[in-house]
């Protein structure tokens, strides 16, 4: 169901290349295999976003100068009431034509509902149809680029566990350099928060292994005898 679809944050996990992983680790349960399962639906959401932007008037087909006005579904749902009312009217007509063309049954949204609820009903109906009609072979072509990332070193086979998203030492150092920048140093926890902003998410065990790696390459700075206050030094 839509409504908060664009507010969901993907939490795909990487494993540090030098560590051992088990079946219960986040890199296995919420890593590459989950990416493969989720990416097939991207085509549906891409088409849905395109349709809604045209129907609300943000984008005009065959007018490239309007293409950069496309916004997310979440932003469309936050439009003012007059825009939403126009979108409901246009989408209802579009859904009726789609249903007639593709042998579907169009269930009209109840006019007694608030305009936003009417809109969500019509959007979810169209989304369901798009999911049904998006052929497996079309979805599969969106998965192929993910299979190609193995050649770039972003995947690593873990035997019976399958492939996991792989963070090499070089990749970690590169993004750590970006995150820390020219600062004197940065708390370890803030470094990992910065890495997450760049799409590199690790579970607790991976973080421990990476901190050990930072220490090996002399990037770790301990500001107390207990070692509780740990900082990462700049690389550049």
Q: Give the per-residue pLDDT at 136.
A: 59
**What are the average pLDDT values for consecutive 10-residue runs of the chain, which has 236 residues?**
48 95 94 78 87 95 91 93 95 96 91 90 94 68 66 88 94 97 95 96 97 96 74 92
Residue 3: per-residue pLDDT = 45
What pLDDT, on the 0 to 100 scale, is given for residue 194? 97
Verdict on whether the full-model pTM lies above 0.75: no
Q: What is the pLDDT of residue 212?
A: 97
Q: Give the C-alpha separation, 183 to 181, whole Å.
A: 6
**pLDDT for position 41:** 78
Amino acid 182: pLDDT: 93
The per-residue pLDDT for 35 is: 81
pLDDT at 145: 67
Q: How much is the pLDDT for 128?
A: 92
Strands 220-222 and 163-167, by their bridges, are unpaired
pLDDT computed for residue 53 by the predictor: 96
Short-list 122, 236, 170, CA closest to 130: 122
pLDDT digits (tens, 9 = 90+) for 58-103: 999 989 999 999 999 999 999 999 999 999 999 999 999 999 999 9
Closest listed residue to residue 92, CA positions, set 73, 112, 111, 78: 111
- Write down the number of H helices and E strands in the chain: 10, 6
* 213 Cβ contact partners less than 8 Å away, ≥ 6 residues apart: 16, 18, 169, 172
pLDDT for position 138: 60
Whether 18 and 217 have beta carbons less than 8 Å apart is answered as no
* pLDDT 10s digits, 96-118: 999 999 999 999 888 888 999 99
């Amino acid at each position: 169901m839509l409504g908060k679809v664009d507010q969901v944050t993907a939490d795909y996990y990487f494993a540090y290349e030098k560590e051992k992983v088990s079946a219960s680790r986040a890199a296995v349960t919420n890593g590459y295999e989950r990416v493969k399962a989720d990416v097939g639906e991207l085509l549906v959401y891409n088409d849905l976003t395109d349709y809604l932007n045209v129907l609300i008037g943000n984008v005009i087909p065959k007018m490239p100068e309007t293409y950069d006005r496309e916004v997310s579904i979440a932003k469309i749902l936050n439009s003012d009431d007059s825009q939403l009312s126009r979108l409901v009217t246009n989408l209802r007509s579009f859904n009726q034509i789609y249903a007639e063309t593709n042998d579907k049954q169009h269930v009209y949204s109840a006019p007694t509902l608030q305009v936003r609820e009417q809109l969500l009903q019509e959007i979810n109906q169209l989304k369901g149809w798009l999911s049904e009609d998006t052929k497996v072979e079309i979805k599969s072509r969106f998965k192929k680029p993910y299979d190609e990332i193995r050649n770039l070193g972003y995947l690593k086979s873990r035997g019976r566990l399958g492939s996991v998203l792989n963070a090499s030492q070089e990749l970690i150092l590169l993004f750590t350099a970006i995150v820390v920048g020219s600062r004197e140093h940065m708390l370890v926890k803030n470094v990992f928060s910065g890495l997450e902003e760049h799409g590199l998410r690790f579970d607790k065990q991976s973080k421990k292994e990476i901190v050990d790696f930072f220490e090996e390459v002399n990037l770790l700075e301990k500001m107390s005898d207990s070692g509780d206050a740990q900082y990462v030094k700049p690389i550049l």
